[in-house]
Every structure is written in C-alpha cells, then in structure tokens.
Amino acid sequence: MTHTPWTDDQAPTEENASPAVPDPSVEALRDILFHQYRERIAELEAELEALERRLSDPDRLAAIIAPSLGDAIRRNIRDARDEMIEALYPIIGQTVVRAVSEAVRDLARTLDARMRQSLDFKSRFRRLWGRMSGLSQAEMALRDALPFSVLQIFLIHRETGLLLHHISLDPHAQPDSDIIGGMLTAIRDFVNDAFNRGQESQLDEIQYGDRSILIETAQYVYLAVVVQGVEPSGFRAEMRRRVIDINHTYESVLRQYRGDATLLSSADGMLRELAVYA
C-alpha cells in the first residue's frame, strides 16, 4: 500500500482543525477519576508553601530542629565522648587561647595604665630599666603579675645521691635537706628505671601545686631547684650552664667523691646567683 503525502493546502492547521468540543460525559468521568488527586495535590502545595516559609525564617527553623539537635548531641557525647572531644578541640582550643590572650592583654593594659599613673621612685626606675632592656611597660608589669621565686636549691651527687650543697630561701623549708636529696635521687632512679629503659633522657621536672622541682643533670652532679610560679625564659639554660660549670670546676672531687661536702662549699656563690635570677 502506498501512502500519498498531504499537499501543503491539505495539511491540518489551527484554522482548519475541528474545534475541541468538551464532552460533558468525559468531563464528568474525569472529575470522578481525578478529584481526590487534585485535592491531595492542593494540600501538598499548601504544606510545601508553609514549609518553605518556616525554612526561610531562621528563628522558626531553629525552634524546629533544636530539640532533635540537642538530643543528638547528648547521645553522641554519651556514646562517643573521645570522638566528640577530638572534633571540638580545634574550635574550643582556639577559643580558649583567644580568650586567655585577650585576658592577658587586658591585664597588661590595666597594669600599664596603673604604672603610667604611678609616680613613685620604684616605678620610675622600672620604666627606665624597661626602656634600657627593650621591654614595654606592659611586659614589665606582666612579669610582676606572674611572680617567680626560687625557694630551694639542691646540688646532689648523681651516683650516691649525697647532698653536696643546699640553699634555702623558704622559711618553711624542711631542715632535712640531705634526706630530701636522697629521696629525690631515689625517685629519679625509680622513674628512669621504670619508664625510661634504654633511653638517655632524665626526669627533668616534678610539679606539685603551684611549685615545681626543676632538675638539670651533668655528668657527676645534678641540680634540683624548687621554684614557685612561672619560670622566666632562660632560667633553665642558666641552670644548665651552672651545673655544667660546677661539674667541670670540681670534676676531680666528684669523680671519686668520698663524702666531704666542704670541698664544694665555694659552689655556693654560683648557686646563690641562680637564687636571685628572678
């Protein structure tokens, strides 16, 4: 069978197409079939519109999710505490650092202002000293606000644990410095043996409350300094320098130490300078 195409004048157009006449019975049928769907679509559209309105309002959104979010966080903290801490640490850490920095800056500003107002001789001297040493008044004031003091100095023979020299600036210090020196050596030995097998590192600090025992070791002796407060920068290096100096100066006595501590009495000056370092 062959198909004869339309000619241009035969093709259907809007003008010559027969007009759509709604058939009432079809319309009635359509209403019957789709009525419930049309209603449901209208309801969904209304709900969607309401939801969009709520989501676009931050206050209403927060009110919706807050209860669920709170429950979720509480449950996560309970079930995965370590993971939560790790996740939050970068944020909390930075926040704490920022807050502390800000508090310290505030303290510095306050102290600086007070120092500027002060006219007494001590303050003038401090300002002069600060200028000479390149420190700002705030830094000088901060240094005062973070006090540091040396309370006791123990120079101890490393091998025997015998006390070689002791300086106390603490009026409440125990008089039994030789026994304390011995126990300190025992604790050092214990820590080194128990936790540090095969390694060269040494116990270098013991902290208790606001006090610390700073320890610096040389070949034959070690220095234990009981301090209160925050040690100034360079104090450790100064301790190290002095203990090495003492080790070199008295090397012949210390190598075969026979228990006569008077041979090291001249080390007092080297140690006492450390006591007034702050």
Partner 1 sequence: MPALSKKVCLLGDFAVGKTSLVRRFVYNLFEDRYISTIGVKVSRKTVTIPDAAGPVELTMMLWDLAGSEEFNQIQASYLRGAAGAILVCDLTRPETVTSLTTYAGNLTSINENVSLVVAANKNDLVNQLRVAPDEVAAVAASLGAPFYLTSAKTGDEVEAVFRHLGRLLVKS
> CB of 200: closest distance to partner 1 in angstroms?
14
In terms of CB distance, is 111 or 151 closer to partner 1? 151
- In angstroms, give the least distance from the CB of 223 to partner 1: 17
Rounded to 5 degrees, what are φ and ψ at 80?
A: -140, 60
Least distance in angstroms from the C-beta of 252 to partner 1: 17
Which of 235, 257 has the CB closer to partner 1?
257
If one counts every other C-beta atom within 10 angstroms of the C-beta of residue 97, the result is 10
Q: How far is the CB of 138 from partner 1 (least distance, A)?
A: 45
In the bound state with partner 1, the residue whose beta carbon lies nearer, of 182 and 229, is 182
Residue 265 neighbours by CB under 8 Å, 6+ apart? 165
CA distance 63 to 59: 6
SS3 letters for 235-255?
HHHHHHHHHHHHHHHCHHHHH
Closest CA relative to residue 164, chosen from 278, 249, 277: 249
Nearer to partner 1, 176 or 205 (CB): 176
Q: Which is nearer to partner 1, 160 or 168 (CB)?
A: 160
Residue 195 near residue 203, CB atoms below 8 Å: no
In angstroms, what is the minimal distance from the CB of 203 to partner 1?
12
In the complex, what is the shortest distance from the CB of residue 79 to partner 1, in angstroms, rounded to a whole number?
A: 37
Distant-in-sequence, close-in-space partners of 251: CB < 8 Å, separation ≥ 6? 219, 220
Q: How far is the CB of 157 from partner 1 (least distance, A)?
A: 7
Q: How far apart are CA 222 and CA 216, in angstroms?
A: 6
Q: Which is nearer to partner 1, 141 or 167 (CB)?
A: 167
DSSP string, 204-234: -EEEETTEEEEEEE-SSEEEEEEEEEPPPTT
Residue closer to partner 1 by CB (options 104, 162) is 162
Whether 221 and 254 have beta carbons less than 8 Å apart is answered as: yes
Q: How would you write 56-107 as a 3-class SS string?
A: CCHHHHHHHHHHHHHHHHHHHHHHCHHHHHHHHHHHHHHHHHHHHHHHHHHH
- The site for partner 1 (CB under 8 A) is made up of 157, 159-163, 174, 176, 178-180, 182-183, 185-187, 189-190, 192-194, 258-262
